[in-house]
Amino acid sequence: MNKSSANISPNLIKHYADHLRLELSLSDNSVDAYRHDVNLFLQYLESQSYPTDISAITQDTIENFFAYLYDLNIGATSQARILSGLKSFWRYLIQEDLAEKDPCELITSPTLGRHLPEVLSFEEIQKMIDSIDLSQPTGHRNKAMIEVMYGCGLRVSELIGLQISNIYRKDGFLRITGKGSKERLVPIGDSSLKILYQYIEGARLHITPKPKYTDTVFLNSRGTGLTRQTVFLLVKELAEKNGIKKAISPHTFRHSFATHLLEGGANLLAVQQMLGHASVSTTEIYTHISDDLLRETLTEFHPRLKHRQKITPNS
């Protein structure tokens, strides 16, 4: 096998596992863990119809994979282990002359421990929405997706799985199926609902849904449902288009939804219910974001602290 024809395949992964066991003398548990990580990456490539050619896999491919893991709510510890597994795999490929360089080389390990998620300002979100070209066939669909993600705080899986029959237009609620198939009712504002129905009663009517997707809200041009990757790429494109340098994903709109509500004085338990968090402690991370904002505001605007900043000598 040469570089130009090498593919990530179950057979190659088996050879890699044999290398770990026989040449590096790793334990069976370690070998199984490394093999699982590479199999997970292969499954991702196949699910997104990405090429499995080793030469076609770039840093962007790896970054998109980790954004996909993030949107599945796979934690930082697991992500760090998976990244370690992929780096080990590419060391093997380079050693076997199946790859020239490691696309994981510049990928940094996720920060372990509880961290504050990235949040967009309302102005940044509005810029992204306003920049969507409504003259394009997907324009109204994309606008509705961003509006609903931010307006209702949905996970990307909940967004692409939304059913028309679960929109209670008159009452202003969506019935959402979340983690563990748990259902919850989420309110949707009048403006978001209006934009959603501009798509459903407009652009969507020009698409013939496949039998399995007749009730699915968001469709592609082939009449089937969207993938997480489609939504991720849309968000990435809109961020770049508007000069937003933050590391964001579809999940960022959910973070922003919760943060903006709490900053505006919303009840923590109400936000927990809308997000579908099993525990209020998960929702409380957004109160830490609000606390940081308050602290920054105090430092910037309190006259005594501003005075201290002026007289502090340069180090």
What residues are labeled active site?
A: 155, 179, 251, 254, 277, 286
Beta strand 167-168 with 183-187: parallel, antiparallel or unpaired? unpaired
Closest Cα partner for 262 from 231, 232, 288? 288
Query: Which stretches of 117-189 are DSSP H helices?
Result: 122-130, 139-152, 156-160
User: How long, in residues, is the chain?
Assistant: 315
| b/e code 89-106 from CB counts within 10 Å (16+ = b) | bbebbeeeebbeebbbee
Q: What's the CA gap between 170 and 149, in Å, rounded?
A: 20
Q: What's the CA gap between 260 and 240, in Å, rounded?
A: 23
All residues at 6 or more sequence positions from 85 whose CB lies less than 8 Å from its CB, including other chains: 33, 34, 36, 37, 38
Phi-psi region of 302 (alpha: psi -120 to 50; beta: other; left: phi over 0): beta
Phi and psi at 50, nearest 5°, equal: -85, 150
Query: How far from 294 is each of 95, 119, 289, 298, CA to CA, in Å?
Result: 52, 15, 9, 6
Q: What's the CA gap between 249 and 234, in Å, rounded?
A: 9
Closest Cα partner for 255 from 77, 123, 120? 120
